């Protein structure tokens, strides 16, 4: 049957052009992707392949995770206005 590539971690882990070529040549049987190299843009080459399953990034799509993400944002605002260190600062 062959290898099946599944990537729900980071788009940069997979070289889109190499994977598309491997899928077309039959060196890889199928691919299931939740993240993309140039996210949010999906390489158009994937769209023509019947052995490729594409999803929008769903890694955080649970009520618990989304609730926690919202709480972290509120906790950061609270820390900012109280002049405390932020929980998740954005560094430049």
For the chain, the residue count is 92
> Does the annotation mark 24 as catalytic?
no
Select which of 27, 39, 41, 83 is catalytic: 39
Q: Could you tell me the two tokens for 16? A: 């889109």
Output the CA torsion 69→75→80→83 (10° steps): -150
Select which of 10, 24, 27, 68 is catalytic: 10
Q: How far apart are CA 78 and CA 84, in angstroms?
A: 8
Select which of 41, 57, 80, 83 is catalytic: 57
> Does the annotation mark 39 as catalytic?
yes
Which residues are catalytic, by number? 10, 39, 57
């Amino acid at each position: 049957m062959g290898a099946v590539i599944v990537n729900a971690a980071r788009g940069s882990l997979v070289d889109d052009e190499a994977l598309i070529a491997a899928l077309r040549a039959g060196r890889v049987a199928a691919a299931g992707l939740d993240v993309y190299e140039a996210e949010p843009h999906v390489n158009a080459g994937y769209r023509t392949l019947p052995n490729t399953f594409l999803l929008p990034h769903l890694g955080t799509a649970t009520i618990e995770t989304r609730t926690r993400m919202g709480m972290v944002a509120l906790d950061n605002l609270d820390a900012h206005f109280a002049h405390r260190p932020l929980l998740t600062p954005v560094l430049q």
